[in-house]
Amino acid sequence: MSQFVQGLGLILASMVLGWTILFSFVVSPQAFKTLDPGRAKRMIRETMKRGHPLVAMVAAGAAGSALFAGAVGGAIVMACSAAMFLLAAYTLAPRDDAKPKAGTRKTDTARVVAAMLTVMITCVVIAGVVLIGMKI
């Protein structure tokens, strides 16, 4: 049973790793190469707002599976990556407050920060996959 749960955690963590690599190195660059800047920003924002919470749930599932398999280090790392995905999605959360009286809101910096968080999460998820695979 322990090997099954460890394998499940490894599969879930690998799915999370696949999402981070696909989003960071394929989807985002291609969006800005092929679409005009406004559409690319909207597409990346919607992808992150809808996709990152789902990936955070998968990462939390990998953390739970790793914990039940005895890979406590992998569980902690995957739980941290789940939190990081939620933080990246929260960075681009829709804003309902009024426009500031003096100046404008910077939305480009929020997109850059969220995309860089996704790239940084890749390293964390790789560590999680290795730790779960080694049952640490």
53, 89 Cβ separation under 8 angstroms: yes
- State the average pLDDT over residues 31-47: 85
Instruction: Indicate if the pLDDT at residue 39 is higher than 70.
Output: yes
Q: What is the pLDDT of residues 4-30, one digit of tens each?
A: 999 999 999 999 999 999 988 888 888
Q: Give the pLDDT of residue 5.
A: 95
Write down the mean pLDDT value for the chain: 87
Instruction: Enumerate residues 6+ apart whose C-beta is below 8 A from 13.
Output: 59, 62, 66, 74, 78, 125, 128, 129, 132
pLDDT band at 122 (very low <50, low <70, confident <90, very high): very high
